[in-house]
Structure 1
Amino acid sequence: MARTRRPSPQMLTLIEALAARAPEWWHGYELMKATGLMSGTIYPLLMRMTDQRLVEAEWCAPEHPGRPPRHAYRLTAAGLQLARDLATDRPTPDGVPFPA
């Protein structure tokens, strides 16, 4: 039997940020700045969401010589659908559903 449960507040925050600019790619550091989540929270969430096929990740070539390649992340179609489903279920503190 598949277990379903409501995403954590941190995952909801991450989904909101990714959905706000879908289908654009985000770097982890950009997501940290946009969400206020720390690296010890955001990267495990991104890995879990990638395993669940809610997020896709790809390596990006360095923008400047001498810099290492970085991962970029964006919602998959399933992740975007989850964001839309959650938007209809969960209003923000001001009563307006988060953007999907």
Structure 2
Amino acid sequence: MRLTVPVAKVLSALLAEPEAPRYGLDLMRLTGLSSGTLYPVLHRLQGAGWLAADWEDVDPVTAGRPARRYYRLTGEGIRSARLALAELRAVVPAERPGTDPAGAPAW
């Protein structure tokens, strides 16, 4: 998996609460990514086996909105995402603008 800034943002958002299912608009708000950037990232992560996706079981008429597609990291996704982000943090200089006091990138 090529770790681009959008991929790192999505992984960081998903790792914040790995068991919490997230839907697209929720992830767009958390990452600041547009739908045109977010959904291709989600598709790549799902294709790599890092992400599971399931449709919400809801009646759109009763809910007053379309069913949401929820995304959650798989066990392999959690392990791989943590490793990939740790490797990225190891190569990003701590003095670079946009990092927190501990030197972690502010994705």
* Offset, 1:88: 2.4
| 1:17-70 Cα shifts (integer Å, max 9, x gaps) | 001111110011000000000000101111111111110000003386142211
- d(CA) in 2 for partners of 1:89 and 1:97? 12
Equivalent in the alignment of 1:72: 70
**SS of the counterpart of 1:22?**
coil
Equivalent in the alignment of 1:24: 20
Listed as ranges, the gaps of 5+ residues in structure 2 are 93-98
1:42 aligns with 2:50: no
Equivalent in the alignment of 1:62: 58
Listed as ranges, the gaps of 5+ residues in structure 1 are none
**SS of the counterpart of 1:53?**
coil
Larger Rg: 2
Structure 1 residue runs of 4 or more that deviate by more than 6 Å after TM superposition: none
- d(CA) in 2 for partners of 1:84 and 1:36? 21
**SS of the counterpart of 1:90?**
helix
Identity of aligned residues (%): 35
Equivalent in the alignment of 1:11: 7
Once superposed, what is the RMSD of the aligned Cα atoms? 2.1
Q: Could you tell me whether the CA contact under 8 Å between 1:24 and 1:74 is conserved in 2? A: yes
Count of aligned pairs = 94
| 1:51-96 Cα shifts (integer Å, max 9, x gaps) | 1111000000338614221100010111101122123223372313
- Relative to structure 1, is the Cα distance of residues 48 and 6 closer, same or farther in structure 2, using a 3 angstrom cutoff? closer
- d(CA) in 1 for partners of 2:17 and 2:44? 20
TM-score, normalized by length of structure 2?
0.77
